[in-house]
Amino acid sequence: MKKVIAVLLSLSMISALSGCKKKSEETTKKTKKTKETEVTEIETDESETETEATSEDTEPSESESSSEPEKKPGTGLKDFKLSSDFTIRNDQKNLDYEIVSTDRAFAVPTPNGRYGMIRKEAGKVQFSQAEIDAHNQLWNSLESESYNLNQVLDEKYDELRPQLVSSVKDGSYSSDTDLTGSIWVYRADTDIFSYALYQDIYSPSLTNTSLISHTYRASDGMEYFFENVVTDRAGFADFFEKFYSNSKAEDYEKNYAKDFAKDLRDENKKIEFVLSYDAIYLINTNLSNPHFFKIPAMYAADYMDVSIFGSTPEYYALAADAYDSITWDIDGDGALDLISVDYETDEYDALIGATISINGEVKGSVPGDLLSNGDNYYYYGFNLMKTDSGFYAYLATAFEEDSSSTFIFHYENGEFVYAKDFVTTFGYNDIYGIAPYYDPSRFVVHDANDIMGTTSINTTCSVIGNNGLPVKTADFASKQGIGISKKEITATKIDENGSPAGTITIPANTAISLIGVDLENDLGLFTTLEEDENNNTVFQMKVTISDGYKIAYGDEQIPQDDLFLGIHYAG
């Protein structure tokens, strides 16, 4: 795919990972929800049957709650001592890089009016030339790892694509093939580059997932191994188990932690991990979906080298731990503060109140009228950003029916002052919860969207220069969806520079993939999916998001189902 589309496509990969859920057209009743779900939802054809999650990945069932308000349990971080060795140093700069995507896809019409599809989406870390020159050893490692990730998936794509075409012809087609290689960066500055590479292969003949992680010193490319970070493995394992058993984590997550502590105690067991500015994230790869545990370094100094932590760029972002808390110096007095979210829920787990406290004293709250406006909000996560206009707190929630909202607070004179309700979720919402973001000048916000199927729409944003409120940094939001044209389509061709280049005629029965959507100007960006991928053409069409997902056809706006066959919906 042409370079101008590459970054947008990389966000499309995020869409593919997001929960694929179809809103009900009927009035829905309140249902109990948890803040994180470990079961992956997979869109299927009508002929497919549902596959149950393995018992080890399924959350325990919950009994009905009483009608009394419920306050989340947890003894709090007062049980753990702070390290005097943990220091915050704003002495780094973010690296100049992008994650571009190397995507391939093809679709074939099926007799039942749908389509069979194979899709490969994999990320690649791309440094600017200045960063390559300055951090050559780091770049060589990242380039090699990206190459290996793509090569594995390309080889599997080339093997499975002919099988898809053959299975549709002989009537044996059963399900789509998705080959995904995701790159999740937790930190990327002049001190440390820490990230995880997740590979997911789902096909009729093979289902396989794997995750590897790497943390490098940016200056010379030296890799940090687990024993470089955790200096007392046995003591750390005991600390880890206690940390989670006393926390606000759900029971299923506490059970995961108890099992994972056994791996920590096994000296021969390799532990995958990533580092943020304030914590080590341990990754349980024993489950069908990897699970991340955050351990704040300032509480574990007896078992860790805390000098690795605390260095930040001028602007940065932090995520809450299992206590719904972030420990950091927010008032600049040199002492660490405990910033915590507490909330109450009704019998359906919907929020009826939420507050932000500093060192145990309430310093802000979600306005009551926002929680009593008829929507049902479910607590989802909590983040803190240091920006050019100070600290901001972001309390993320989910609505009923899978929309989402983030309450934004500005830290002013020792208080968290409510600023705005932003109707989306910070950090793209994937099957593992809210994915990481660390740089306030570029991060992803996510929301549900039904154009070309029920996956998520993702927009790159920045809060720098906008008083903590997100503003988009690109015209097009990313959205991935595939269909096959029912009719001949005349559209605007887009050249390799991303500019309009006349009109193009797309024949009927052409496989087409959506790339992105300009919500303000009602434009959709698409590419054809030709048998010879070098012949793929990028084009744009007028879409009407607010009127039932209609697409321009001549002088008309027609429903997308009248123009494309095989658009997948879940549920």
Q: Give 87-106 pLDDT, tens digit per residue.
A: 999 999 999 999 888 889 99
What mean pLDDT do residues 391-399 have?
Answer: 90
Closest CA to 469 of 399, 418, 403: 418
C-alpha to C-alpha distance for 212 and 487, rounded to whole angstroms:
45
Token pair of 28 as six digits: 């829905």
Amino acid at 115: Y
The pLDDT assigned to 413 comes to 96
What are the pLDDT digits (tens) for 5-30? Answer: 544 544 444 333 333 332 333 333 33
The residue whose two tokens read 């309390």 is: 395
Greatest mean pLDDT range, 25-29, 44-48, 126-130? 126-130
SS3 245: helix
The pLDDT assigned to 430 comes to 46
The two beta strands, 192-202 and 207-217, are antiparallel
The two beta strands, 538-544 and 489-494, are antiparallel
Q: What is the 3-state secondary structure (H, E, C) of 235-249?
A: HHHHHHHHHHHCCCC
pLDDT of 121 > 70? The answer is yes
The pLDDT assigned to 52 comes to 38
What mean pLDDT do residues 405-414 have?
Answer: 94
Lowest-pLDDT range, 50-54, 241-245, 365-369, 462-466? 50-54
Cβ–Cβ under 8 Å, residues 509 and 109: yes
The pLDDT assigned to 422 comes to 84
Greatest mean pLDDT range, 14-18, 458-462, 501-505? 501-505
What are the pLDDT digits (tens) for 361-373? Answer: 999 999 988 888 7
pLDDT of 243 > 90? The answer is yes
The pLDDT assigned to 401 comes to 55
**How wide is the angle at C-alpha 97 spanned by C-alphas 91 and 98, nearest 5°?**
140
The pLDDT assigned to 498 comes to 84
Greatest mean pLDDT range, 116-120, 424-428, 473-477? 116-120
pTM, full prediction: 0.85
Lowest-pLDDT range, 22-31, 255-264, 398-407? 22-31
What mean pLDDT do residues 300-327 have?
Answer: 96
Q: Which residues of 432-458 are buried (b: 16+ CB within 10 A; e: fewer)?
A: bbbbbbbbbbebbbbbbbbbbbbbbbb
Give 303's pLDDT tier (boundaries 50, 70, 90): very high
The residue whose two tokens read 């039904």 is: 450
Q: Which residues of 347-361 are buried (b: 16+ CB within 10 A; e: fewer)?
A: ebbbbeebbbbbeee
pLDDT of 520 > 90? The answer is no
Give 142's pLDDT tier (boundaries 50, 70, 90): very high
Closest CA to 168 of 121, 217, 111: 111
Give 41's pLDDT tier (boundaries 50, 70, 90): very low
What mean pLDDT do residues 456-466 have?
Answer: 89
For residue 313, the surrounding DSSP H or E stretch is none
Give 196's pLDDT tier (boundaries 50, 70, 90): very high
- CA trace torsion 544, 8, 526, 162 (10° rounding): -140
**Radius of gyration, CA atoms only, the chain:** 24
The pLDDT assigned to 386 comes to 97
What mean pLDDT do residues 385-393 have?
Answer: 97
Greatest mean pLDDT range, 39-53, 309-323, 415-429, 544-558? 309-323
What are the pLDDT digits (tens) for 204-239? Answer: 888 889 999 999 999 999 999 999 999 999 999 999
Give 403's pLDDT tier (boundaries 50, 70, 90): low
C-alpha to C-alpha distance for 440 and 312, rounded to whole angstroms:
12
For residue 5, the surrounding DSSP H or E stretch is helix 3-17
What mean pLDDT do residues 333-353 have?
Answer: 92
The pLDDT assigned to 400 comes to 59
pLDDT of 350 > 90? The answer is no
The pLDDT assigned to 548 comes to 75
The two beta strands, 443-449 and 425-426, are antiparallel
The pLDDT assigned to 431 comes to 40
pLDDT of 141 > 50? The answer is yes
Q: Which residues pair with 304 in a beta bridge?
A: 230
Give 198's pLDDT tier (boundaries 50, 70, 90): very high
What mean pLDDT do residues 273-287 have?
Answer: 95
Tell which phi-psi region holds residue 480, choosing left (phi > 0), alpha (psi between -120 and 50) or beta.
Answer: beta
Greatest mean pLDDT range, 63-67, 401-405, 444-448? 444-448
pLDDT of 354 > 70? The answer is yes
pLDDT of 36 > 50? The answer is no
What mean pLDDT do residues 283-311 have?
Answer: 94
What mean pLDDT do residues 189-217 have?
Answer: 93
